[in-house]
């Protein structure tokens, strides 16, 4: 059965002819038109197949646009991932400027010193603010050290991957970062502890950056001996934060770390002597014979042990005394073993064993201080 339909276009044009259209194909098209993943399915024999209209034109445009939209979304997602990765790298660079491993070692000495100064556990607020202030001060000094030493860091394998040689952080940004950490450290210690602790933090930063990094490091083979005084400041900061003064036990701990620094650092310099020579840094292992270096290590090790034992009658009990004696004997033996290997001219003396032993020694010695006070 057929129905006569007057096309709208014909009415507008005023024409008298009629278009005869099958009704069933139209219904079939309306019920069966499907869009599947960008592909159009059109029933065979329908009017849509014979005469594409506006609907098919829109479908064609939508299907054609889908790949472009997908590519744009993929591109946006890739850009977001790149930005996130870049932010992560930059933040990691700022963290690396502070040399977190050095900060950890400094904090190991600060907390037991505070226990000793208080003859117990100080208030939690004072402990946290002092540790944070000390960490900020150390991070400031390390960041500014990286700025000053960026020219030689890129020449040494051990330091070539630091943020400034890799251009992860600019020198200007690193300088602002370091100064900001220092200012925050002094403000925190001045408010939460006292002015003496804040002044000692400032002294540590200036001494490490100016005296050691700028004046001594590239000029004398005794650079690390005197420059190591900056690393002794955390015990003085911790003691003064609790007592507001400096006393003989704090100075004995200062002596322990002062004489500990060369036996800790010179084995590392022996391991990377070629790096320091390439950069023109006159570390003792670069400019002196190995036996001279190990004799100096032995001398400083004995002085370190003497300072640690001097603390015993000043402020400590038998737990610390026994621990300091045993740890000191063990470390001197490690230093002598390295000296004996060098004297016998062994091909692989392995100085890094003494480097790691020095970290263990200092950690256990200050742990003994905490235990002696609290038990």
The pLDDT of residue 1 is above 50: no
In angstroms, what CA-CA distances link 127 with 115, 119, 186? Answer: 9, 14, 15
pLDDT of residue 21: 41
**Rounded CA separation 123/240 (Å):** 14
Read off the pLDDT of residues 305-348 as tens digits, 9 standing for 90 and up. 999 999 999 999 999 999 999 999 999 999 999 999 998 887 67
**Rounded CA separation 157/162 (Å):** 10
In angstroms, what CA-CA distances link 104 with 51, 74, 298, 322, 324? Answer: 79, 43, 26, 26, 21
Most confident region among 23-37, 62-76, 183-197, 220-234 by mean pLDDT: 183-197
Coil vs helix vs strand at 1: coil
Contact 308, 324 (CB under 8 A): yes
**Rounded CA separation 246/203 (Å):** 15
**Shortest CA distance to 314 belongs to which of 370, 236, 253?**
253
Read off the pLDDT of residues 244-266 as tens digits, 9 standing for 90 and up. 999 999 999 999 999 999 999 99
Strands 19-20 and 4-5: antiparallel
The length of the chain, given as a count of residues:
375
Read off the pLDDT of residues 134-166 as tens digits, 9 standing for 90 and up. 999 999 999 999 999 999 999 998 899 999 999
Total-model pTM? 0.78
Read off the pLDDT of residues 337-366 as tens digits, 9 standing for 90 and up. 999 999 888 767 889 999 999 999 999 999
Read off the pLDDT of residues 66-102 as tens digits, 9 standing for 90 and up. 666 566 677 677 777 888 888 888 899 999 999 998 8
pLDDT of residue 39: 41
**Rounded CA separation 130/132 (Å):** 5
Lowest mean pLDDT among 30-34, 158-162, 185-189: 30-34
**Shortest CA distance to 142 belongs to which of 112, 92, 177?**
177
**Rounded CA separation 203/62 (Å):** 70
């Amino acid at each position: 059965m057929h129905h006569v339909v007057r096309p709208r276009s014909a009415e507008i044009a005023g024409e008298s002819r009629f278009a005869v259209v099958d009704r069933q194909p139209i219904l079939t098209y309306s019920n069966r038109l499907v869009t599947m993943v960008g592909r159009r399915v059109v029933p065979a024999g329908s009017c849509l197949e014979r005469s594409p209209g506006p609907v098919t034109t829109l479908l064609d445009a939508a299907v054609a646009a889908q790949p472009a939209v997908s590519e744009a979304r993929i591109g946006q997602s890739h850009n977001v991932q790149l930005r996130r990765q870049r932010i992560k790298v930059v933040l990691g660079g700022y963290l690396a400027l502070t040399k977190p491993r050095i900060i950890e070692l400094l904090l190991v000495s600060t907390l037991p010193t505070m226990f000793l100064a208080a003859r117990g556990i100080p208030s939690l607020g004072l402990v946290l603010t002092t540790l944070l202030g000390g960490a900020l001060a150390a991070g400031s000094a390390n960041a500014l050290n990286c700025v000053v030493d960026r020219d030689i860091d890129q020449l040494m394998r051990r330091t070539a991957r630091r943020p400034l040689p890799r251009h992860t952080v600019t020198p200007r940004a690193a300088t602002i970062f370091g100064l900001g950490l220092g200012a925050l450290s002094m403000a925190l210690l001045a408010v939460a502890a006292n002015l003496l602790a804040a002044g000692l933090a400032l002294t540590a930063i200036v001494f490490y950056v100016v005296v050691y990094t700028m004046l001594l490091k590239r000029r004398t083979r005794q650079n690390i001996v005197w420059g190591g005084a900056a690393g002794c400041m955390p015990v003085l900061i911790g003691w003064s934060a609790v007592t507001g003064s400096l006393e003989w036990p704090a100075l004995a701990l200062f002596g322990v770390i002062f004489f500990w620094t060369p036996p800790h650092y010179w084995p590392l310099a022996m391991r990377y002597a070629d790096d320091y020579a390439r950069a023109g840094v006159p570390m003792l292992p670069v400019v002196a014979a190995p036996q001279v270096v190990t004799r100096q290590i032995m001398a400083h090790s004995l002085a370190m042990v003497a300072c640690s034992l001097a603390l015993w009658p000043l402020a400590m009990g038998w737990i610390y005394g026994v621990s300091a004696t045993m740890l000191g004997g063990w470390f001197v033996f490690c230093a002598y073993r390295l000296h004996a290997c060098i004297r016998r001219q062994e091909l692989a003396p392995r100085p890094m064993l003494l480097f790691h032993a020095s970290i263990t020694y200092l950690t256990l010695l200050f742990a003994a201080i905490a235990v002696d006070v609290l038990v």
